[in-house]
Amino acid sequence: MLRSTALCIALLQAATALVSPRFALRRTPPLRSTTAAYERERTPVFNFDAAPEATAALWERIDDVVMGGVSSSKIVVGDGGAEWRGIVRTDGGGFCGTRTAALDAPLDLSKADGVYVDAILTSDADVARRAWKLTLRTAASRSEIVYSAEWAPRGPDGVGGPTFVPFSDFKLVRGPRIVEGAPPLNATQCASVYGFGLTLSRFGAASVNMTEVENFRDGPFAVKLNAVGVYGDQKVDVPAIGKNVQESKPNSAGRPTIKNNGLILGLALTVLRPIASLVFSEEGRRRRQARRMLIKRGCKSDWAARVYGQRVVKRMRGLGAGAARLEGLREFAKDAAAYALSFPLRLAFRAIFGTVRLIRRLRGKKALPAL
């Protein structure tokens, strides 16, 4: 009787997962803290224990506020070391993340077998009620297309060891969705790693259809960070990361200087960088993506989606009506400025594309698809 009941429950769970991936049971990713892994050579790339302040300064936040959410987090350094703290909310994207700053030169990790993360969840014991993701960036761009794999911190009792994640576990993703048909992470790509990232999310392992973590625990969290590094059969030679991160050092007058550039190039970059960051803003792109999602869900226009988003921000952040309106106007002004500045670029692109299509037509080649 018991065996029959257990079999029925298992079949019911499997059917539920097939019919509705959203309600599929959450399986805790395996902690790869095996004896065999411990015997491998470990090379810390980011050693929070040895130099907490210097290492924490190399990481930046990437929370769901970039797409209209209200979650927030940061790495805080105190007497106990470096801790990744934050509050994750389900109104919006439902995730908190931190990633390394852009590297001047990529890291060659081709001789390693995988990545290890040594971290402890100190705020509570609900490790399995959240999705934990580890990302590797193999391109110089700052887009959301990265290689991602699951990991999990230890519980507050500290029992266990680091999580060891082989490179073969990493899948190419765009946000929480897997990129279908993408090649797996290989040694050639690991020879040019431009950054690492950690994410806490309400969405589980990357898949074609987003799967929410059952009984997801939102609210505050805290993770003590000890080290993020690589492991393998041999020691991997990693340069001093602190010297490999892009930074602008102030001169005696307090103004940022740009190394190895002439005065004219320096002035040009000083002007163009803020313009480029505005036109190609990842935050702006994600806000547009969030508004399109709201329009699909019932908002009648782009402006209505903006108003709804500001209501959510007002409620979750406890802002007054005036402060919420000012925040909305600030975002609208940034989006309008980005649109105006990008207009000449769009015209130039259309002119170039049109010229190429005309040349192909004159040469009797197959026409390119319309923009």
pLDDT digits (tens, 9 = 90+) for 334-354: 788 777 877 777 787 778 877
Spatial contact of 110 and 187, defined as CB atoms under 8 Å apart: yes
**pLDDT tens profile 175-212:** 778 888 888 898 888 999 999 999 999 988 666 567 88
Topology classification of domain 20-236: Jelly Rolls (2.60.120)
Question: Of 12-26, 85-99, 110-124, 291-305, which one has max mean pLDDT?
Answer: 110-124
The more confidently predicted of residues 258 and 365 is 365
Yes or no: say if 197 and 132 are a contact pair by the CB < 8 Å rule.
no
The pTM (predicted TM-score) of the whole model is 0.61
Q: Provide the β-strand partners of residue 256.
A: 250
For residue 163, pLDDT beyond 90: yes
- The confidence band for 278, taking pLDDT boundaries of 50, 70 and 90, is low
Position 70 scores a pLDDT of 83
CATH 2.60.120.430 residue spans of the chain: 20-236
Exposed, middle or buried: residue 72 (CB in 10 Å: 0-12, 13-18, 19+)?
middle
Residues 6+ apart with CB under 8 A from 147: 135, 136, 137, 138, 170, 171, 172, 173, 185, 189
Q: What is the pLDDT of residue 330?
A: 80
Check pLDDT > 70 for residue 284: yes
For the chain, the average pLDDT equals 76
The C-alpha atoms of residue 158 and residue 71 are separated, in whole angstroms, by 26
Question: Cα–Cα distance between 318 and 336 in angstroms, integer?
Answer: 26
